[in-house]
Amino acid sequence: MRPRIAIDAMGGDVGPRVMVAGAALARHRHEGFQFLFVGDETQIRDALKDHPNLAAASEVLHAEDVVSADAKPSQALRGSKKTSMGLAVNAVKAGDVSAAVSAGNTGALMAISKLALRTMPGIDRPALAALLPTLKDTDVVMLDLGANAECDSRNLVQFSVMGAAYSKIMHGFEKPSVKLLNIGTEDAKGTGTIQDAAEALRSAKGLSLDFRGFTEADKISTGEVDVIVTDGFSGNVALKALEGTARFVTDLLKRSFRSSLRSKFGFLISRPATEMLRGHLDPNNHNGAVFLGLNGVVVKSHGSADEKGVANAVEVAARLVEDSILERISEEISKIGQSTPAAAAAK
């Protein structure tokens, strides 16, 4: 199936020019991609002039309004018939495109997507998932990163299934390993919610995942597991702690390199090394975040992503469509319905 992807051209800090350039890059690498750009028609057509190949594979849908970066989800919902974000997501709902990509306000995108697409049968709540860099060759899938501040054990079991399906598609693992984030790895650690979810996952039969118990937040970046599942509060805290610390350490490093002439010289010489570090941590080299559990594929590109970042997000969206993420999740969730103890927690 040829993916046709709606691009919210107006979201993010970057504007239509970068969104269009990113789509052009993705299209350059995957000839079959088709696009529907949603936003200010004049600006989009203008940006498309630089990319004739892309223009030939694209349509434009004019939207007169934009969801602002600080709009509350409720405001964004009210205006969604006129905004580029609202129209892009509604194009997924109408079956006009197979996925939507936006670099706009995450809370607004979640609210609009939830209302337009609804959660899949068997899923209580959608989750926000992302691929995070590790010391190994493959990124780790982590969810929920903030869609649900409070979760019950059913949610955590469903997130495990959704995260495993995502990992399987992105990395080709037959049975991705899954752990629940906890504050210790012993069986008795953590809240009742986590205990119940672990019990359900341990006793579930026939799932395409390998449940391995608990992990702690200092193991996220080691790559010891393929999928890490947690509630949206802890997930958001962990994600932001990762981002903040990476920035903290690189700032400290810059500062110490500036502290003596000798260090400055060393810094210049070792620049390629620090550039490599930066490249590994750069969000543009990873995709955006994905909303899982909805009747449709919606990808959130990083707000400050450059064209490489946008192209990555577009490619993730296409991959999820081509590899039928919705059907995979459905199928797995129906297995939970059949196995008794997990069913108690997840149905």
Question: Which 190-229 residues touch a second copy, going by CB under 8 A?
Answer: 190-191, 216-222
User: Could you say whether residue 150 binds a second copy (CB under 8 A)?
Assistant: yes
Q: Which of 234, 341, 333, 254 is nearest to 292 (CA)?
A: 333
- 304 is a contact residue toward a second copy (CB under 8 A): no
**Based on CB atoms, which residue is closest to a second copy, 90 or 148?**
148
Instruction: Tell me how far CA of residue 157 lies from CA of 205, 306, 307, 322, in angstroms.
Output: 13, 35, 35, 25
Return the number of the residue (151 or 320) whose C-beta is nearest a second copy.
151
Residue 77 interacting with a second copy (CB under 8 A) = no
Rounded to the nearest 5 degrees, what angle is found at the Cα of 297, between the Cα atoms of 15 and 342? 140
Element housing 127 (H / E)? strand 127-132
| Minimum distance of a second copy from residue 127's CB (angstroms) | 14
Site for a second copy in 155-184 (CB under 8 A): 181, 183-184
Minimum distance from residue 163 beta carbon to a second copy (Å): 17
> CB-wise, 74 or 338, nearer to a second copy?
74
Q: How many CA atoms lie within 13 A of 196 on its CB side?
A: 14
Per-position x/- string for 247-286, each x denoting binding to a second copy as judged by CB under 8 A, each - no binding: xxxxxxx--xx-xx-xx-xxxxxxxxxx-xx--xx-----
Q: How far is the CB of 271 from a second copy (least distance, A)?
A: 7
- H or E segment to which residue 212 belongs: strand 210-215
Contact letters (x/-) for a second copy, 12-51, by CB under 8 A? ----------------------------------------
Task: Give the residue from 280, 217, 289 showing the smallest Cα distance to 249.
Answer: 280
φ, ψ for residue 79, nearest 5 deg: -90, 10
* Binding segment (CB under 8 A) for a second copy, from list 20-28, 76-84, 116-124, 230-238: 230-238
Let me know: does 177 contact 210? Beta carbons within 8 Å.
yes
Q: CA-CA distances (angstroms) from residue 140 to 60, 132, 152?
A: 35, 5, 23
Residue 217 vs 326, nearer CB to a second copy: 217
Q: How far apart are CA 157 and CA 332, in angstroms?
A: 11
- Say if CB 231 and CB 148 are below 8 A apart: yes
Min dist CB 37 to a second copy, Å, is 30
**Length of the chain, please?**
347
Binding site for a second copy (CB under 8 A): 72, 107, 134-135, 146, 149-150, 181, 183-184, 186, 188, 190-191, 216-222, 230, 232-234, 236-253, 256-257, 259-260, 262-263, 265-274, 276-277, 280-281
